[in-house]
Amino acid sequence: MTATSQEPTEATGATVGWRVLFGREHGPVAVTLAAGVALHAVNVYLATTIMPSVVDDIGGAGLYAWATTVFVFASVLGSAGAAAVLGARGPRSSYRFAALLLAVGSAVCALAPNMVVLLAGRLVQGLGGGLLFALSYAMVRITLHEALWPRAMALVSAMWGVATLVGPALGGICAQFGAWRNAFWGLLPFLLFFAFWGAARLPKGRTGGSTPRIPWMSVVLLGLAVLVISAASISSRLAVNAAGLVVAALLFIGWLRRERGTTLRLVPATAFGPDARLRFVYLTMALLVLASTVEVYIPYFGQRLQGLGPLAAGYLGAVLAAGWTLGSIACSGMSHRSRTIIGISPVFTLVGLAVLFFAGPVHSGTVAAIAAVSVGLLVLGWGIGMGWPHLLTQALRLAPDADQELAGSSVTTIQLAATAFGSALAGTVANVVGFSDGVATGDLQTTARWMFGLFAFAPLAAVMTARYARR
C-alpha cells in the first residue's frame, strides 16, 4: 500500500503529532526506517573510533585513511542505486537485502587478518549502508501519509545524533579492552533482527510502474569525483591537493552535464527544468552538510587546544549532532512555517561557525572555553537540523509522481557526496595550513581559524540559495 492510500488518524491538512507516527498503525514502520539510518550511522562512528586499535593489531597504517575513503565511495554507489533496487525488489526485499549486505561486510571486517581484507569488508559495508540509508528516506513517501512526512524525516535524520552517542561508546569500550573485532560483531544481532522482523513491517510487493535502471555513467562519474578528492586529501603536498580538487571538479561538471542530457539519472528531471526550486533545495542541503564537516577535526582540537581526554573530546564532536537532532525534533512540526524555517536555518549555521571561529582556536582548558566551543557546535547543528526535515519534504513535494522514488534516494546521494567532499576539503585546508604529526600549538590554532573561517562561506551561500528553495 502506498502513502497516498493511507490515512493518518488525525486531520491531514497539517503535520500530525508524534503520537500518530508512533501509534500502532505507523509505529513499527517508523522504527524500522529510523533503524536503517541508525545502523548505518553507528557503523560510521564505530569504525572511526576503533581504527587506531585496528592498525595496532593488523598493521596497514599506510592505508589508514582508505578505511574511510573506500566506505564513503561505496556508500555513494549504494545510495545511487537505491531507486533501481527499490523499483525492482519492493520495500521489504530491498530493505532486507541492504541490511544483510551491511551484515556481511561487518562480518568480513571482524574476521579480517590484514588491512586489505578489512578494506574489502568496508567496501561491502559501504554498499549496504549507503543503500539502507537511501532506502529509509525513500520509503517515507511509500509507507507513510504525506502529513507524517516532516515528523518521519525528523525522526530519520535524528538517528545521526543517536549514532554519535552509541557508535563511539561501543567502539571505545571494545577498543579499550583490546577487542576491536567485537565492535563489528556487536552490530550483527541488530542487523539480522531488522533484516527479518523490521523488513516484515514493510510492504511486500513492488511499488508499481516500470523498474528504474541504474544510471551507471552518472554513478561512475560522481563516485570517481568523490574517490579522487578523498584520495588527494590524504597527501600533505599542495600540488596533489590542488590537482585532486581540479580533477574532482571536472568529474562533477561531467556528472551534471550527463544528468541534464539523459533520461537515466540520479536526481529528478525537475532539478534541471525551468522551475529552479528543486535544484536550490539540493544546493541548500549540500551547503549545510558541507558546513557540518568541520566536526571531523573537533576531537583533535578538543584534545590539543581544550585539554580534553580522548573520550571527552570525542563526545565534544557529538554536540553538533545533538544540535542537529534537537533542531529537527523541535521544528519538524512547524509545517505552517516551513518557508521561514528554511530561510533562517543557514543563518543559525553561520552564527555557529562564527562562534567557533573565535572560540575554537583558543588554547585553554577552562570551562568557559569548552562551553563556548560547545555553544558554537550546538548552534551550528541546530541550524542544519531545524531546516532539514522541511528541505527533505520540499524535495519530495517538488518531484513529479514518476520520480518520487528517485527523489527519496537522491537526497541521500547529495548528502553523502557533500559529506565526502566536505571532509576531503577539511583535510586539504588542514594540510595546506600546516597540520601534521606533532604540529605546534600555534600552527594548530591557525589551522582551526582557517578551517572555521573558510567553511563559513558554505552557510553564507546557503542563505542565498534558501531564498529560492523555500518558494
DSSP code of residue 27: H
DSSP string for residues in 72-130:
HHHHHHHHHTHHHHHHHHHHHHHHHHHHHHHHHHHHHHHH-SSHHHHHHHHHHHHHHHH
- Please give the helix or strand (H or E) that residue 306 lies within, else none: none
Who's near 436: CB < 8 A, 6+ residues apart?
Answer: 236
- Direct distance between the N- and C-terminal alpha carbons of the chain, in angstroms, rounded to an integer: 31
Residue with cell string 531545524: 386
How far apart are the C-alpha atoms of 348 and 379, rounded to whole Å? 6
Find how far residue 197's CA is from the centre of its chain.
25
Any idea how long the chain is? Answer: 471
Q: What is the structure's pLDDT at 118? A: 94
Burial 283-314, CB ≥16 within 10 A → b, else e: bbbbbbbbbbbbbbbbbbbbbbbbebebeebb
Q: What is the structure's pLDDT at 466? A: 92
Residue with cell string 550511522: 41
Handedness of CA 234, 60, 42, 121 (dihedral sign): positive
Contacts 24+ apart (CB under 8 A), 399-402: 399/268, 399/270, 399/278, 400/268, 400/269, 400/270, 402/209
Cell triple for 371: 562551553
How far apart are the C-alpha atoms of 119 and 139, rounded to whole Å? 30
Mark the ranges of the chain whose per-residue pLDDT is less than 50.
1-7, 9-13
How far apart are the C-alpha atoms of 430 and 412, rounded to whole Å? 27
Tell me the one-letter amino acid at 462.
A
DSSP code of residue 179: -
The number of C-alpha atoms within 13 Å of 156 and in the hemisphere containing its C-beta is 31
Cell triple for 98: 541492504
Task: Answer for the pair 394, 373: CB distance below 8 angstroms, yes or no.
Answer: no
Cell triple for 97: 537485502
Task: Answer for the pair 344, 462: CB distance below 8 angstroms, yes or no.
Answer: no
Question: What's the alpha-carbon Rg for the chain, to the nearest Å?
Answer: 21
Tell me the one-letter amino acid at 169.
A
Find how far residue 367's CA is from the centre of its chain.
31
How far apart are the C-alpha atoms of 150 and 137, rounded to whole Å? 11
Task: Answer for the pair 92, 199: CB distance below 8 angstroms, yes or no.
Answer: yes
How far apart are the C-alpha atoms of 227 and 255, rounded to whole Å? 14
Task: Answer for the pair 271, 411: CB distance below 8 angstroms, yes or no.
Answer: no
Find how far residue 67's CA is from the centre of its chain.
17
Q: Name the pTM for this structure.
A: 0.75
How far apart are the C-alpha atoms of 422 and 415, rounded to whole Å? 10
In a 3-state reduction of DSSP, which class is residue 225? helix
H helices of 360-440, in order, are 367-398, 404-433
How far apart are the C-alpha atoms of 352 and 374, rounded to whole Å? 10
Give the CA distances from residue 405 to residues 100, 279, 310, 350, 397, in Å, rounded to whole numbers and listed in that order. Answer: 22, 17, 42, 32, 12
